[in-house]
Amino acid sequence: MSFKKHLIISTLIRVFLIYYGEVQDSLSDVQYTDVDYRVVTDGANHVLALGSPFKRHTYRYTPLLAYLVLPNLLVHPSFGKFIFSLFDILIGVLIKWILLNCYRSNKISIETKLLKLETLNNRNKYLIKRKNEILNSNNEALPPKYIRMAEISAYCWLYNPLTMIIATRGNGDCVSCSLVLLSIYFLLKNEQTIVQYFVAGLFLGLSIHFRLYPIGFCLAFYLATQNRTLEKWHDIVRSILKPNPKQIALVLGTVVALGSTTALFYWLYGYQFIYESMLYHLVRKDTRHNFSLYFYLQYLSSTFDVTVLEKVLTFLPQLILILMLTVRYGQHRQTLAFGLFAIAFVMVTYNPVVTSQYFVWFLSLLPLCVKNFRNIGIRKAVFIPVMWFISQGGWLLPAYLLEFKGWNTFEFIWIQSIVFFFSNVLILQMLISNYDIAYNYKID
């Protein structure tokens, strides 16, 4: 089937899940619809009444999300789920576009080098003209197998049951993920103009406004726009302090998008917007239950104030790992996608609060790296997702007993959080060790 037909099928599956969710919500105590969806809808109700969405208790998102689901109140209660599902489909399309651009970029690079050698030996006007066409073209034809590889990578997202369920339950994280992928798309475009880096910065700034986690990508984006490899720390520092025009455009676009949206909503809703949508997430605790390794610590210390030392010790491991991954993979356009995936994976794994919707942060980036795991083998390719889902299932059982049966399963949840943490650490180690920097592209 064509890629368009797969888009239609994956869209219909999401439509079915939305309607199935309405049936489950009406018949079962276990609700299909995410509680956050109801919170955002309530926030939209306050906006519709010309008030602040933050009047709704526990509304801790950008006001843009409340504006986005206003049709829930004007058209249909599930309208927002359809909007989020469209963003979900957009992610699959962007995955294909980004990979095709990567393959095309590598193809142009190879052909340019070959033609350069031929041109040096033969000053033929055709060769010179052909070389210039390749340098200025972004639409060079690719062999079908590489187009197929880009489409298969997109299917890894479009048919992922976890991501489909998260979007159709009414979670808006697919919006920030699509903005991150848009920023990657413009950053890696072959033209490499100042405008495209500015646009990449705009989408990066918007993604940070929606969710704070893309802040961890900023240094990698910044370093990927340089024209050389930096092997020493003082070279990296010098590169940061002496930016090139591309880096200036990227930073300017990010500041414009993030600064303008923040200033606008601060003007509309004041300090409450700053605290609820940004600062709260830095001090947030989930004393009920979550996947995080730090869950039980938060539960036992729920009556105490968070000390500075506790926050430092909590965030220091992931900060060190993010810096190491940024320096290792963020300096090169060819490895940027895997670097961003590894950074997102670390941020989720080591975060003090981890919920299922956070998984889309790195799952949306993983398909960009599938082509680089050609040496991973069938056994590991099966073992990794099976171990990941089993470790989640082991956590979900005691969490269900606590949430719906009222059993005291806090210690069992904590044990399973430890198992899940070390499973993630092992998975990331396996992916890094089997990552092949090459684009898996060769001239046949």
144-180 pLDDT, tens per residue?
Answer: 888 888 999 999 999 999 999 999 999 989 999 999 9
Distances (CA, A) of 146 to 89, 96, 100, 149, 442: 21, 11, 8, 5, 10
Question: Which domain does 193 fall in, by range?
Answer: 171-274
Please check the confidence at residue 443 and state whether its pLDDT lies above 70.
no
For residue 297, the model assigns a pLDDT of 78
- Other C-beta atoms within 10 Å of 321: how many? 18
Q: How confident is the model at residue 281 (pLDDT cuts 50, 70, 90)?
A: confident
Indicate whether 395 belongs to any domain: yes
Residues 268 and 312 in one domain: no
Angle at 182 between CA 240 and CA 316, to 5 degrees: 45
Domain termination residue (choose one: 241, 274, 307): 274
Burial of residue 102, with CB atoms counted within 10 A of its CB: 0-12 exposed, 13-18 middle, 19 or more buried: buried
Residues 299 and 439 in one domain: yes
Indicate whether 244 belongs to any domain: yes
For residue 442, the model assigns a pLDDT of 43
Domain termination residue (choose one: 228, 251, 274): 274
Indicate whether 20 belongs to any domain: no
Residues 436 and 369 in one domain: yes
Indicate whether 89 belongs to any domain: no
Domain termination residue (choose one: 224, 245, 274): 274
213-261 pLDDT, tens per residue?
Answer: 999 999 999 988 886 666 677 777 777 778 889 999 999 999 999 999 9
Residues 201 and 335 in one domain: no
Please check the confidence at residue 401 and state whether its pLDDT lies above 90.
no
pLDDT (mean) for 29-52: 90
Residue 218, both tokens: 């900023």
Under a CB-based contact definition with an 8 Å cutoff, are residues 227 and 280 in contact? no
Indicate whether 113 belongs to any domain: no
For residue 288, the model assigns a pLDDT of 67
Residues 319 and 434 in one domain: yes
Please check the confidence at residue 315 and state whether its pLDDT lies above 60.
yes
CA distance 152 to 157: 9
Residue 171, both tokens: 């979670």
For residue 104, the model assigns a pLDDT of 78
- Other C-beta atoms within 10 Å of 86: how many? 15
Residues 375 and 320 in one domain: yes
Burial of residue 388, with CB atoms counted within 10 A of its CB: 0-12 exposed, 13-18 middle, 19 or more buried: middle
pLDDT (mean) for 296-324: 80
Residue 36, both tokens: 């956050």
Q: How confident is the model at residue 409 (pLDDT cuts 50, 70, 90)?
A: confident
CA distance 326 to 419: 27
Angle at 167 between CA 162 and CA 171, to 5 degrees: 115
**HEC assignment per residue over 268-333:** HHCHHHHHHHHHHHHHCCCCCCCCCCCHHHHHHCCCCCCCHHHHHHHHHHHHHHHHHHHHHHCCCC
Percentage, residues of the chain above pLDDT 70: 86
CA distance 197 to 174: 23
For residue 46, the model assigns a pLDDT of 93
Indicate whether 291 belongs to any domain: yes
Under a CB-based contact definition with an 8 Å cutoff, are residues 91 and 364 in contact? yes
Indicate whether 69 belongs to any domain: no
Instruction: Please tell me the pTM assigned to this model.
Output: 0.88
Residue 40, both tokens: 């955002």
Say whether 438 sits in a helix, a strand or coil.
coil
For residue 441, the model assigns a pLDDT of 45
Residues 214 and 247 in one domain: yes
127-153 pLDDT, tens per residue?
Answer: 555 555 554 554 456 678 888 889 999
For residue 444, the model assigns a pLDDT of 36
